[in-house]
Amino acid sequence: MIGIQSCFDCLGHCCILSETGRIDSLPRLKKVACTCRIRRLGPVIRHLKVFLVLLASGLIALSFLPDRPFEPDPQNLPADFDSYYGAQRTLSRSLGVPEHSQEKILEFGAQTELCFLYIHGFTASRGEGEEVVDALAQKFRANTYYVRLPGHGSNPEDLRKQTSTDYLQAVEEAYHAFRNRGKRCFVIATSMGGLLALHLASRHPELAGLILASPAAGFHEFYIPWISHPWVLPLLGTLSGDRLSRNASQATPEQSVRWYQEKYTASYAAVFELWRRVARPAVYAKIQQPVLLMYYYRDEEHQDSSVDVKAMLQMFSELGERGGHPQSRTLPIARGNHVLLSRYVDSDRELARREMQRFIEDVTQEK
């Protein structure tokens, strides 16, 4: 067809210019030079590919750099619980933390046979486990302390400032102050608090046991292992921008005052860095204490959507150097959510309470 110029080196497309714009005016078509946009963008695309390859290579290389080891600051370890608790409550009030999200102590004596330390999860408060843990405290007459993690209960700006070291230090201080309030101390924790509990147990073999509700042992997102290194996270935060995002799900009024409903993208950096530092076989192998692992799972379609169940079970299989403690056990909960112990979230809390009680009894009666 005379008047048509084909350009086969631009993916077989033709560039046609008609003087009349009518398809039936073939004799009047005029030859034109092909101006292929794809060909003009070729150098840009090639440079972009090179940049992406270099960026990916850099992220992978950085992910293999050694993590910062954690050692608690001995100057900040409290001398006694009463002064520590008073200072924490004063700090919470100065930050405007509401009463229901502040630290809390249940006391049954100067020192009880058992004591329970509860560690909440990311963006949460003690309301994440208070109902069930309070019931256990009453049952065993056990002194019980609820930690408020730094940055929680006040505002999203405070949360954004925290690092994984801040969380680890806070838990070490709480345990150091509270551990002598019971002859045997159990740690109960939810989600990110589970990572902190695992780290604590790896450093303190004298702990009597761990009760973990949906510990953040792994995530569904495939890319988190590559972005979780402290050398990588600041770079990604700069590139993506630090946005204040709101939770997708609609919260009840009771939930909205006990969990942050808005958080900055940068806040996740501490969670991912903490996961990288704790969720590894070398840490799990140091945990010789009995562990109760509880998680939401009914079937493949109905399971924890926040934390990977397979990662939790993998973590459990790696506890201890010789297969873990014989009293360790798992408990799948068919009616549940990521949050399992809160009165403000639907779950089979009675099943969880019964099995937690049985676990504590079995461990404490063991000779």
State the DSSP string of 347-360: S-HHHHHHHHHHHH
| pLDDT, mean over the chain | 85
Q: Are 244 and 263 in contact (CB under 8 A)?
A: yes
pLDDT of res. 118: 98
End-to-end CA distance of the chain: 96
Q: Which two tokens stand for residue 131?
A: 């109902």
Q: Which two tokens stand for residue 127?
A: 């309301």
The single-letter code of the amino acid at 215 is: P
Q: Which two tokens stand for residue 320?
A: 């201890």
Degrees, nearest 5: CA angle 335-336-339: 165
Distances (CA, A) of 237 to 40, 230, 247, 254, 265: 33, 11, 19, 31, 7
pLDDT of res. 4: 37
Q: Are 292 and 329 in contact (CB under 8 A)?
A: yes
Beta strands 329-333; 112-119: pairing state: unpaired
CA dist 299 and 336 (Å) reads: 12
Stretch 357-367: mean pLDDT, rounded? Answer: 91
Does pLDDT of 242 surpass 70?
Answer: no
The single-letter code of the amino acid at 125 is: S
Give me the phi and psi of 213, to 5 degrees please.
Answer: -105, 110
% of the chain beyond a pLDDT of 70: 78
- More confidently predicted of 233 and 72: 72
- More confidently predicted of 118 and 77: 118
CA dist 265 and 267 (Å) reads: 5
Stretch 315-326: mean pLDDT, rounded? Answer: 90
- More confidently predicted of 254 and 59: 254
pLDDT of res. 20: 43
Residue 24 banded pLDDT, cuts 50, 70, 90 = very low
pLDDT of res. 220: 87
pLDDT digits (tens, 9 = 90+) for 154-184: 999 999 999 999 999 999 999 999 999 999 9
Taking the complete model, does pTM exceed 0.75, yes or no? Answer: yes
Per-domain boundaries in the chain:
36-63, 76-365
pLDDT digits (tens, 9 = 90+) for 29-65: 444 444 555 566 677 777 777 777 666 556 555 554 4
Helix (H) or strand (E) holding 299: strand 291-299
Helix (H) or strand (E) holding 89: helix 81-94
Q: Which fold has domain 76-365?
A: Rossmann fold (3.40.50)
Q: State the residue for tokens 């993916």.
A: 11
Q: Which two tokens stand for residue 148?
A: 């408020």
pLDDT of res. 230: 61
pLDDT of res. 222: 73
